[in-house]
Amino acid sequence: MGSFGFENAETILNSGFLPDAISSDVHSLSIKGPAYDQLVTLSTFLNLWMSITDIIAASTTGPARAICRPELGTPSPASIGHATILRIKKGEFIFTGSPEHIRSGEKKVTLKGVVLNGEMWS
């Protein structure tokens, strides 16, 4: 139900290796926890001290490059008019990797709104 290990991620990040792409890896055994959605995944990496700039790149431009669709990864006149507007909340939050691995963190990425075809939805 969870293939993410905090210790492995910390070792890799502390070695200076940043992920090219971050995904939630949500499937039928993790949709109700621990993966839930991409926001939980972004929050997990934020609490592992990866910069928000690198996290967003690994969630946008990295995956777009991986599928050879760079127009999906950045806002530009040639791109599709979609965007996600995020907010970082501060508090005390619990994050779960595999079921035996639970961590607390002080930051959580939440959804503020989305832009679809240039129109804001919140």
The tens digit of pLDDT for each residue in 61-104 reads: 999 999 998 878 787 776 666 788 999 999 999 988 766 778 89
The number of distinct structural domains making up the chain is 1
Prior bond of 99 cis (ω within 30°): no
Residue 108 has pLDDT above 90, yes or no: yes
Say if 1 falls within a structural domain. no
Say if 46 falls within a structural domain. yes
Say if 107 falls within a structural domain. yes
Query: Which domain range does residue 65 map to?
Result: 6-121
Say if 71 falls within a structural domain. yes
Say if residues 115 and 81 touch (Cβ distance below 8 Å). Answer: yes
Residue 3 has pLDDT above 70, yes or no: no
Q: What is the pLDDT of residue 85?
A: 92
Q: pTM (2 decimals)?
A: 0.83
Q: How far is CA 102 from the centre of its chain?
A: 18
Sign, CA dihedral 77-24-58-42, equals positive
